[in-house]
């Protein structure tokens, strides 16, 4: 699986499995199928309440722990320094692993001193509980504040798909060496029906989902489509390994 080097030299696989709304046995099954297909990146959060089910899949798979990238997120109401540290250790236990590859602040919380979670992340890095950290749902202003204090924010996970294309934020992240992970990358399936996407799918003999995911990856982002169905898991995995022409990328940009 192709990956991107983060600003701390940790590599993040460009395609991950989103797991929001995946629960119980369906979650364990989908994660196991994804790993068997070749996915090497799983995205979760405390909020998704599926750490244990993902943990079961990680226990069952033949893929080595060091070959799998696990991202999870701490909720905005748990951002005090001590709570972040305790939460990260709890997530490891729930997932049945010794470390997290990436820990994110799920949303900013203006009520908490902003340095708190970031100082916790620095301690967790030193202890080896996490390999990298970042944020989610941060705009330019909020992200700039962390970077100005020299916090090593490696990733900003934000909503990104053809009908939600925050160009200014993308430019800012590129300039500051922060990788964007595109969440809701298919627009929950709605963007598959756009005329431009349908036309390009025909032109490249790919599916609409493959065109969209390829566009995101082509912009140097990580993408994390959620898929419970095996046919979707396979289809999305095959969004890799080919390229849209520059002018077709631009036509999606113009949506």
Toward ligand NAP, which CB reaches closer, 4 or 234? 234
Chain contacts with ligand NAP (rule: CB under 6 A): 18-20, 43, 106, 136-137, 157, 183-189, 192, 207, 209, 224-229, 232, 235-236
Least spacing, CB of residue 214 vs ligand NAP, in Å: 12
Toward ligand NAP, which CB reaches closer, 145 or 164? 164
CA-CA distance, 211 to 218, in Å (whole number)? 10
Establish whether 91 is a catalytic residue: no
Residue with nearest beta carbon to ligand NAP: 18
Spatial contact of 183 and 161, defined as CB atoms under 8 Å apart: no
Structure letter (DSSP) for residue 4: E
The vertex-226 CA angle with 214 and 38, nearest 5°, equals 65
User: In this structure, what token pair is assigned to residue 178?
Assistant: 């922060």
Toward ligand NAP, which CB reaches closer, 6 or 222? 222
Toward ligand NAP, which CB reaches closer, 24 or 82? 24
Count of Cβ atoms closer than 10 Å to residue 204 Cβ: 16
User: In this structure, what token pair is assigned to residue 108?
Assistant: 């900013």
CA-CA distance, 32 to 116, in Å (whole number)? 35
CA-CA distance, 142 to 153, in Å (whole number)? 12
Least spacing, CB of residue 133 vs ligand NAP, in Å: 14
Least spacing, CB of residue 124 vs ligand NAP, in Å: 19
Least spacing, CB of residue 6 vs ligand NAP, in Å: 17
Catalytically active residues are: 48
């Amino acid at each position: 699986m192709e990956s991107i080097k983060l600003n701390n030299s940790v590599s993040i696989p460009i395609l991950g499995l989103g797991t929001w709304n995946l629960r119980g046995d369906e979650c364990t099954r989908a994660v196991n199928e994804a790993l068997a297909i070749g996915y090497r990146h799983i995205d979760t959060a405390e909020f998704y309440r599926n750490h244990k089910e993902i943990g079961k899949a990680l226990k069952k798979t033949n893929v080595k722990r060091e070959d799998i990238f696990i991202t999870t997120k701490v909720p905005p109401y748990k951002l005090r320094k001590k709570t972040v540290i305790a939460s990260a250790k709890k997530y490891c236990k729930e997932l049945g692993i010794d470390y997290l590859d990436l820990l994110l602040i799920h949303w900013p919380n203006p009520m908490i001193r902003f340095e708190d979670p970031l100082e916790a992340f620095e301690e967790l890095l030193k202890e080896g509980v996490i390999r990298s950290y970042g944020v989610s749902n941060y705009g330019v202003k909020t992200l700039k504040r962390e970077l100005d204090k020299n916090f090593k924010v490696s990733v900003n996970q934000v909503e990104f798909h053809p009908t939600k294309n925050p160009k200014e934020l993308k430019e800012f992240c590129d300039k500051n060496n922060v990788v964007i992970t595109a969440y809701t990358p298919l627009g929950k399936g709605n963007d598959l029906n756009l005329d431009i996407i349908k036309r390009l799918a025909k032109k490249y003999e790919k599916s609409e989902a493959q065109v969209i995911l390829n566009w995101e990856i082509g912009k140097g982002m990580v993408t994390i489509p959620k898929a419970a169905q095996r046919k979707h898991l396979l289809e999305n995995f095959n969004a890799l390994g080919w390229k849209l022409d520059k002018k077709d990328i631009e036509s999606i940009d113009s949506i």
